[in-house]
């Protein structure tokens, strides 16, 4: 099984937003960090917004951020939201299969068990689990200092 680029970058986008909290993340910055096109990123953000994982804020100073805490967003939820199909074989496609054994097949049962184990494993991880090493991730993703809303320190003026 291989996940699509959409799922891969959707999870990476969620991770970026998690390490950039509480700041808003700009699509252009995320695209640059992962070397992907902004257009592709905009397309994959839509299901994340619809799935309640990301919020968008429009305007000049807009951006995206997690819609709920990172520890509440499971990896399996993100993957299921962004993958079109989990058909491991023709027999997963229902009525379109030509196999005469599909109704009572041990191979089909084995593949179903494998897929459930895959989902169970992904369900054990959240976006927070994937972003524990925030300092390293911020550095590697080119994310600057976190704006905690505190007033800036006064700067000395030289004469």
59: left (phi over 0), alpha (psi -120 to 50) or beta: left
Q: Does some domain include residue 101?
A: no
For 58-92, how does the pLDDT look when each residue is reduced to its tens digit (9 = 90+)?
Answer: 888 889 999 999 999 999 999 999 988 777 666 66
Q: Does some domain include residue 156?
A: no
pLDDT of residue 97: 67
pLDDT of residue 19: 96
pLDDT of residue 147: 58
Q: Is 54's pLDDT higher than 60?
A: yes
Q: CA-CA distance, 15 to 25, in Å (whole number)?
A: 11
pLDDT of residue 79: 93
Q: Check which CATH number belongs to the domain holding 35 and give it.
A: 1.10.10.10
Q: What is the mean pLDDT of the chain?
A: 85
Q: Does some domain include residue 70?
A: yes
Q: CA-CA distance, 65 to 140, in Å (whole number)?
A: 19
Q: CA-CA distance, 23 to 63, in Å (whole number)?
A: 9
Q: Which residue has the higher pLDDT, 106 or 148?
A: 106
Domain count, the chain: 1
Q: Which residue has the higher pLDDT, 68 or 93?
A: 68
How sure is the predictor about 93, in pLDDT bands with cuts at 50, 70 and 90?
low
Q: Which residue has the higher pLDDT, 114 or 103?
A: 114
pLDDT of residue 95: 61
pLDDT of residue 145: 64
Q: In the chain, which residue ranges form alpha helices assigned H by DSSP?
A: 5-19, 27-34, 38-50, 75-82, 106-123, 127-130, 134-141
Cα 127-22-50 angle, rounded to 5 deg: 55
Q: Does some domain include residue 108?
A: no
Q: Which residue has the higher pLDDT, 149 or 5?
A: 5
Task: Please report, to the nearest 10 degrees, the dihedral formed by the alpha carbons of residues 21, 56, 10, 85 taken in order.
Answer: 150
> Domain range spanning residue 18?
5-85+127-141
Q: Which residue has the higher pLDDT, 134 or 90?
A: 134
Q: Does some domain include residue 151?
A: no
Mean pLDDT over 26-52 rounds to 94
Q: Does some domain include residue 96?
A: no
Q: Are 5 and 128 in contact (CB under 8 A)?
A: no
pLDDT of residue 47: 94
């Amino acid at each position: 099984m291989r996940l699509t680029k959409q799922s891969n970058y959707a999870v990476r986008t969620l991770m970026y937003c998690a390490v950039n909290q509480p700041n808003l993340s700009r699509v252009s910055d995320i695209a640059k960090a992962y070397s992907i096109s902004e257009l592709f990123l905009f397309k994959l953000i839509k299901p994340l917004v619809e799935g309640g994982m990301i919020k968008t804020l429009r305007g000049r100073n807009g951006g995206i951020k997690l819609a709920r805490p990172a520890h509440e967003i499971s990896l399996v939820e993100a993957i299921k939201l962004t993958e079109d199909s989990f058909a491991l074989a023709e027999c997963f496609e229902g009525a379109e299969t030509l196999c005469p054994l599909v109704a009572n097949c041990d191979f089909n049962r084995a593949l179903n068990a494998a897929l459930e184990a895959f989902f169970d494993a992904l369900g054990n991880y959240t976006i927070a689990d994937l972003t524990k090493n925030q300092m390293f991730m911020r550095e590697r993703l080119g994310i600057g200092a976190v704006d905690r809303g505190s007033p800036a320190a006064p700067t000395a003026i030289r004469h």
